[in-house]
Amino acid sequence: MKISRDKHFDDYDALVTIFGGLDDNVSRIENAFDVKIFTGSSVMKITGEEKDVKDAISAIDAIATLSKKEILTKAQISTVIEMVKSGQVESLGDLLGTVAITAKGKVIRPKSLGQKEYVDAIRKNKIVFGIGPAGTGKTYLAVALAVTAMKNHEVERIILTRPAVEAGEKLGFLPGDLAEKVDPYLRPIYDALQDMMGGESYLKAIERGNIEIAPLAYMRGRTLSNSFIILDEAQNTTREQMKMFLTRMGEGSKIVVTGDVTQIDLPHHVVSGMKDAVQVLDGVEDIKVIRFDHRDVVRHELVSRIIRAYEKADKEREQRKNENGDK
Question: Tell me: the pLDDT tens digits for 266-305?
Answer: 888 899 999 999 999 999 999 999 999 877 776 656 666 7
Helix axes 74-85, 50-67, angle to 10 degrees: 140
β-strand partners of 258: 130
113 pLDDT above the threshold of 70: yes
**For residue 179, pLDDT beyond 70:** no
Q: What pLDDT sits at residue 153?
A: 95
pLDDT confidence of residue 277: 96
Mean of pLDDT values over 214-221: 83
Q: Cα torsion at 146, 149, 154, 158 (round to 10°)? A: 30
Which stretches does DSSP call E strand in 150-235?
157-162, 211-215, 227-231
How far is Cα 225 from Cα 296, in angstroms, rounded to an integer? 32
Q: Is the pLDDT of residue 184 over 70?
A: no
Average pLDDT along the chain = 83
Write down the pLDDT at residue 13. 64
Beta-sheet pairing, 127-131 with 100-101 = unpaired
Better pLDDT: 172 or 311: 311
Q: Are 158 and 146 in contact (CB under 8 A)?
A: yes
Backbone dihedral region for residue 137 (phi beyond 0: left; psi -120 to 50: alpha; all else: beta): left
pLDDT top residue among 177 and 255: 255
> Could you tell me the pLDDT band of residue 312, with boundaries at 50, 70 and 90?
confident
Q: Are strands 254-259 and 227-231 parallel, antiparallel or unpaired?
A: parallel
Confidence of residue 170 (pLDDT cuts 50, 70, 90): very low
